[in-house]
Structure 1
């Protein structure tokens, strides 16, 4: 499996409605959307690629309550950091938000994840 499919499978254990990039319009809450935000590229001195790839990954949980969003993002943090499939570190605490147009509460957290290339 690829890193992204492994991540999606893992996040679906926390919330079955999990999507890359953005949830489809009208998706029922709660749901998770995750996005890659770049990362560190490693190359050897001879320009050959390293066997690992780094991705800055943003995970966003949207729910009907702030408490549920925070509970699910904490569960996502624990699961991502505990996975043996990669090495992950949170890049800070979750950011909380409220989307007035959807009436949903969000909790967003970023991770630096090293995985097989």
Structure 2
């Protein structure tokens, strides 16, 4: 599985299943979740072999019409990620409150390091 597939498997039941890589389609019902890879810590072997797993930094974003809704869903996401023991999740950042002027949506963004 790709890191994106792992993240989706953890989050797919949230926000009514409105969970998307990178961006949500236009006119998606709110709230919704987006996620993307924002880096990582490559594993390198002297032999040049490709590792079976990778350490990836994923950002998970929530978009909602109200700040309280975005914050509450962000808290549920953090709990779900912490509980995903098979991914060896490390919470890298606290939730960052965001606002998108073009859509008038409130959001949260949080980074997680996963090993998958």
- The TM-score, its normalising length taken from structure 1, stands at 0.90
Q: What CA distance in whole angstroms lies between the structure 2 residues aligned with 1:92 and 1:3?
A: 18
How many equivalent residue pairs? 115
Match of 1:41 in 2: 42
2:63 is aligned with 1:53 = no
Whether the aligned pair in 1 keeps the contact of 2:42 and 2:55 (CA below 8 Å) is yes
Match of 2:85 in 1: 84
Match of 2:11 in 1: 11
Q: CA RMSD in A?
A: 1.3
Cα displacement string for residues 54-95 of structure 1 (whole angstroms, at most 9, x for unaligned residues): 111000000111111111111111111211321111111011
- The TM-score, its normalising length taken from structure 2, stands at 0.91
Runs (4 or more) in structure 1 with deviation over 4 Å come to none
Q: Which runs of 5+ in 1 are unaligned?
A: none
